[in-house]
Structure 1
Amino acid sequence: MRLAEKAHCLVWILHRRDGLGLTGKACDDGALCRLSGALPVAAAQLIDRPAEIKFPLVLAARKSHNSGRMKHHPDDLIMLFNDLFRRSHQTVLVKGGDEPEYIPAAGPDQPARIVFAHGFYASALHEISHWCIAGARRRGLHDYGYWYCPDGRTAAQQQAFESVEVRPQALEWLFSVAAGSRFHISVDNLSGQGAADEAGFRARVRAMADHYLRDGLPARAARFHQTLLTFYGRQTLFAQAWQDQGLTTSESTR
């Protein structure tokens, strides 16, 4: 049997199997995983081959991603996240209703749940970002032990809100670019006094994202970011896409 035929059969067999997990060495929670720059085309092609084995559901999607407008479905994020972290961190990503929520594990057979709102793709990325930052103690608490101050905040409350949202929104932005999806800065205070400093907040989020790229993402965030790059075939596109996002940021803060 020729190599191409063997590869085709292998992929078909993998499609027939349920629950195939992703491979890869896990990092310690306290470690930082440095991201490499854009890979040469030849190297990216080599990575794409095992990617077909890692992600058996990606084959049809990859063709559409490369030949037309990319589609983003939250079920893809659920598959990728759960394959990465269900066993290693006893945590799953699930669709929810009106409000996002983090529910810690209740036992060996009851994993922690990251619940994202309305089945929205962007909401899933945002909630994953919060989880990637939370330490072990926080992950043992409902909603990481934080009390959410709802929409309608005063200027002082909004300033406090923005200060704790810089890191998760920086990760969300990096995840969005890795997936090729649109990212929107969220000040989340429509019925209150609005953003304390919207331009400044956006600049701080951008600066934090640049810091992560330069010095390393948190370990779990780095694993998920690389998974998105591989799944959506954007290893060679990320560097330029991120630079283009910087130009947009500069224009929006003038």
Structure 2
Amino acid sequence: MDFDPQVDQLIECFNTLFLESLNTELVRGDGEPIYLPADADYPHHRIIFAHGFFASALHEIAHWCVAGPKRRQLEDFGYWYKPDGRTEEEQAEFERVEVSPQAYEWILTVSAGRKFHFSADNLSQGLGASDSFKEAVLNRVHQLLDNGMNPRLKALSEALRTLYAVEPLSVDQFQLESYSCAS
């Protein structure tokens, strides 16, 4: 695995914003990603992302940004998740619940000056992100840009744009023709 120095920058940026204010830290993990709320053994909520991958960190942060206060008290925010190997019906449900997280991830990815890839997260079935899913994510991004982002997403987007010298976000930066699908 190649070392990405921007991962450490992202961890520092996130933790500077949210460790003290929301008792949440971003942690490089060795295995599968997971969100763990604070407990008797560990005083901080932890967003643990997979294998030091920048994109995994942004995806897990996006889920955290979507989750409300009650969900942030639950392991993995209490979300349903069925791993790789979902049926078409299960994949449709996955896409339904992933619209906002992937829209948030797209915003954070562009804020960091990187290229976003849709994730269908179902490699063994060969089901990539559907066109309707990509359209729904794009529409959600446009809604967020037009109507305003929640405070956590906005603060991190602004911090990333400052860190990576990225211009202010506009709807023109978010077009389906510009982005690919990672199955």
- Scaled by the length of structure 2, the TM-score of the pair is 0.89
- Structure 1 residue aligned with 2:172: 243
1:144 and 2:77 matched: yes
Check the 8 A contact 2:65/2:152 in 1, yes or no.
yes
Q: Residues 200-235 of structure 1, C-alpha deviation per residue, up to 9 Å, x if partnerless?
A: 111111110000000011111111111111111113
Q: Residues 41-120 of structure 1: matches in 2 within 5 Å?
A: 73-107=6-40, 110-120=43-53
1:139 and 1:175 mapped to 2: Cα distance?
19
Picking from 154, 161, 165, the partner of 1:229 is: 161
Check the 8 A contact 1:72/1:121 in 2, yes or no.
no
Aligned residues, how many?
178
User: Shift in Å at residue 139 of structure 1?
Assistant: 0.6
Q: Secondary structure at the match of 1:129?
A: helix
Runs of 4+ aligned residues of structure 1 deviating over 4 Å after TM superposition are: 249-252
1:218 and 2:150 matched: yes
Alignment RMSD, CA only? 2.2
One-letter amino acid of the counterpart of residue 89, structure 1: L
1:72–1:211 Cα change, 3 Å:
farther
Picking from 101, 104, 118, the partner of 1:168 is: 101
- Scaled by the length of structure 1, the TM-score of the pair is 0.65
Q: Secondary structure at the match of 1:119?
A: coil
Unaligned runs of 5+ in 1: 1-70
Identical positions, percent: 44
Check the 8 A contact 1:105/1:113 in 2, yes or no.
yes
User: Shift in Å at residue 147 of structure 1?
Assistant: 3.2
State the structure with more CA Rg: 1
Higher relative contact order (CA 8 A, sep 6+): 1
User: Shift in Å at residue 148 of structure 1?
Assistant: 1.5
1:125 and 1:251 mapped to 2: Cα distance?
17
